[in-house]
């Protein structure tokens, strides 16, 4: 999971570094997702996705929020948390 605001139309440099490092180290992980926010647009999701190309993970639907989060955005975050929980429950049963 990578969470980042958009800075100058892309992910925050710390998130870029984290994605780059994860891509280089290839940790044993099965799932990935992105939580992002932006004010006027950007390519955060596309840039982070391209940085994670070496990871063989299932991508859980990202949550990208424009501006101050609203009720629908919090509902989307709750849905992402539920999806993560369901994925981990599936691992336990196999």
| CATH superfamily of this structure's domain 2-93 | Flavodoxin domain (3.40.50.360)
Per-residue pLDDT of the chain (94 residues; tens, 9 = 90+): 899 999 988 999 999 999 999 999 999 899 999 999 987 778 898 999 899 989 989 999 999 999 999 999 999 999 999 999 999 998 877 6
CB 11 within 8 A of CB 48: yes
Give the pair of three-digit tokens for residue 81.
Answer: 């948390």
Phi, psi (deg, nearest 5) at residue 71: -55, -45
């Amino acid at each position: 999971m990578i969470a980042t605001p958009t800075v100058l139309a892309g992910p925050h440099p710390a998130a870029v570094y984290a994605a780059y490092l994860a891509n280089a180290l290839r940790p044993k992980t099965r799932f990935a997702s992105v939580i992002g926010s932006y004010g006027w647009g950007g390519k955060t999701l596309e840039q982070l996705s391209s940085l994670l190309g070496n990871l063989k993970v299932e991508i859980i639907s990202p949550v990208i929020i424009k501006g101050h989060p609203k009720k629908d955005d919090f509902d989307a975050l709750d849905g992402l948390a539920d999806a993560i929980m369901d994925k981990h429950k599936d691992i336990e049963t196999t």
